[in-house]
Amino acid sequence: MDTKRLTWDMGGTRLAGEETGDGPALLLLHAGGENRTVWRDCAKRLADMGFRSVAVDQRGHGESDARDAHDLAVLGRDVAALLATFDVPPVVVGASLGGFTALHALADPAVRARCSGLVLVDVVPTPAARDVYAFLGPRGLAGDPLVDEMLSRRGELEAAARSLDLPVHLVRAGDGALSGGSVADAAAMIGGLVVHELPGAEHLVARTAPAALTDVLAFVADDDDVRRRRIAAVLRACGAEDAEHPGGTLASHLLRTGERLRQWGSEAWLVDAGCLHAAYGTEGFPTALPGVTPEVVRAAVGVRAAGLIDLYCHCRRADSYATFAGPHPVVVDHRTGERHPLGRMTLRAFVELTVANEMDVLIHSAELRRKYGAGLAALFVDWRGLVGERARAAVDAWPGAVDAVSSAAATGD
């Protein structure tokens, strides 16, 4: 897996970093005395799982400049500036010093809006000073100026922790720096904190237990709330919350389509595809979402969902739909005429997405029901053998559902 070197200019101070993988992103902040290379094993594993990671040398570490490297507020401003470079909010992962830095940055609600989740790695907002010195002393690290700096900011860090309104996870190393009491204190500050115990890990978890840590990071990046925050940020940024569409706004239509797929038991990647299925415009809704590029889509929903969205948006419907129930289903690209063969699982996903989308449109538009309702109902019946059990039940109930919707519209109910 290729790794790309990155640099950032923080007002005359240069930070160095590296990027690995493609897909939803994680910003990796190392512990004190470490540098970005400590994350390389995790980064490679994350890339194999379909995620992108950006690992940074914090000020005074690795190849980054050292000016103001002992000021936690400056380090926090660096994190805020880094988050502003992402098109889609990443999960922030902070190990030890990186956790304090992340917390300081996320005290600002505008910065929190650019973050989809937080993972604290063997660090809590307000560790007891005696515990810190007892842990660091034998390791020769108690004299680092950053130790006193972090301890002097307990009030700020506690306030930041209590303000968190995003998914927060804590990784506790079995042979790490955290006592049971400090973990309990963190849980009291951070509502909904999820704790992951890694019994075989030491304090530098990325170095001593990278596989186990990567599993936690991938779990967080795929968390329902984290995924929703990424998608919501894209819809907000592209103006979908203000664009008109049957049933309200385009954003509400897209999210309802995803929710319908979720109710049908679809996998998470297909639900996410439903929430951004009109990213590049479609034959039925030809307006692309402003600023939404393939890179943005992959960062929001991952490579697999992005591939389905691309097929869906560029499908020439008449030519493609006619093949779906036959032995050689294809999507015909309306731009190039290229024929994309569909495997069994991709066909099922494409059909379920299509049915979920069209059902939502017809439910919310009497005009489109009159114009296309009968034809789509017949198409749904032709496709009922291509979809899952719950989607099939919805197809079987659809004529009655249309009648009920029409009746309610006629009576004003």
Identify the residue whose tokens are 């967080």: 220
Instruction: Give the per-residue pLDDT at 180.
Output: 92
Instruction: Give the per-residue pLDDT at 399.
Output: 73
225-411: what fold?
Hypothetical protein af1432 (1.10.3210)
Residue 306: count of CB within 10 angstroms of its CB: 24
Instruction: Give the per-residue pLDDT at 215.
Output: 98
The domain spans of the chain are 3-222, 225-411
pLDDT digits (tens, 9 = 90+) for 63-76: 999 999 999 999 99
- Please tell me whether the overall predicted TM-score, pTM, comes out greater than 0.85 for this model: yes
Instruction: Give the per-residue pLDDT at 403.
Output: 55
Instruction: Give the per-residue pLDDT at 398.
Output: 86
Residue 149 burial by Cβ neighbours in a 10 Å radius (0-12, 13-18, 19+): middle
Count of CA atoms in the C-beta half-sphere (13 A) of 366: 10
Residue 117: closest CA among 90, 97, 84, 86? 90
Cα angle 3-7-299, degrees, rounded to a multiple of 5: 55
Pairing of strands 194-202, 168-175: parallel
The segments of the chain whose pLDDT lies below 50 read: 404-406, 408-413
Residue 163: closest CA among 118, 96, 216? 118
Instruction: Give the per-residue pLDDT at 156.
Output: 96
- Spatial distance between the Cα atoms of 355 and 380, rounded to a whole number of angstroms: 7
Instruction: Give the per-residue pLDDT at 411.
Output: 47
AA identity, residue 131: D
Q: In terms of CATH architecture, what is 3-222?
A: 3-Layer(aba) Sandwich (3.40)
Instruction: Give the per-residue pLDDT at 146.
Output: 87
